[in-house]
Amino acid sequence: MESVQENITIEDLKQGSDLLFKQIYEDNRDKFLNFARKYNLPQDDTIDVYQDAYIIFYNNVMEGKVEEFTSTISTYLFSIGKYLIFDKMKKNNKTINPDFDLSLIRERDALVDASFDLDPNDLTTEQVLLKKYFGTLGKKCQELLTLFYYRGYSIKDIIATSEYTSENVVKSAKSRCMKTLKERINSNSND
């Protein structure tokens, strides 16, 4: 069935074809539920996560937040679902298996982040500067600050999901990243 999905375009979906959206929902549901088993969430939660991910996918397409797919529809849908799983695990105070390969998420971050871009007119001056200079940080700094400040991970959660070996290492890396970010933002103010 994946080959049929590969032929579906954004334009096809934006026309609001219930048949296409139903096909995407049904083709990916069991695959996602199997994929999500490794996170040991209750079955009801996993179903809720899939439905929430599908609704976000639908809204992103219909609201024009996605202009083109740079991967398959399944990959895009699963990326949204992964973030929702992590958020649910965080709310349930579950940690991520230390063997989990965080690089799998890094590869798809751009897909999901691009879907949630805000209208620049809605951002304050500080938010515009933060967005601009956050993008200039290295990948490790971006990941660390995103996990801590945006995702709400604790220092211990970060250690469990990354290559960091101790709380002190995470704290000092976070401090260095924040210092660099602040310096770059402040240098803009002085220009």
Domain ranges of the chain: 1-110, 118-191
pLDDT of residue 190: 63
Q: For the beta carbon of residue 56, count every other beta carbon within 10 angstroms.
A: 19
Q: Work out whether the CA dihedral 31, 34, 58, 100 comes out positive or negative.
A: negative
Q: 114 CB contacts (<8 Å, ≥6 apart)? A: 66
Measured in whole angstroms, the distance separating CA 101 from the mean position of its chain's CA atoms is 15
pLDDT of residue 162: 79
pLDDT of residue 94: 53
pLDDT of residue 3: 44
Rounded to whole angstroms, the Cα distance separating 106 from 146 reads 11
Q: For the beta carbon of residue 84, count every other beta carbon within 10 angstroms.
A: 19
Helix, strand, or coil here: 105?
helix
Helix, strand, or coil here: 8?
coil
Identify the CATH assignment for 118-191 out of 3.30.70, 1.10.10, 1.10.530, 3.30.450. 1.10.10
Q: For the beta carbon of residue 181, count every other beta carbon within 10 angstroms.
A: 19
Rounded to whole angstroms, the Cα distance separating 157 from 63 reads 34
Give average pLDDT by consecutive 10-residue segment, the chain, 191 residues: 60 80 90 86 89 90 79 86 86 57 49 46 74 87 84 81 86 93 82 57
pLDDT of residue 48: 92
Q: What is the pTM of this model?
A: 0.49
Q: To which residue do tokens 């996990």 refer?
A: 147
Provide Rg for the chain, Cα atoms. Answer: 19
The CATH code for residues 1-110 is 1.10.1740
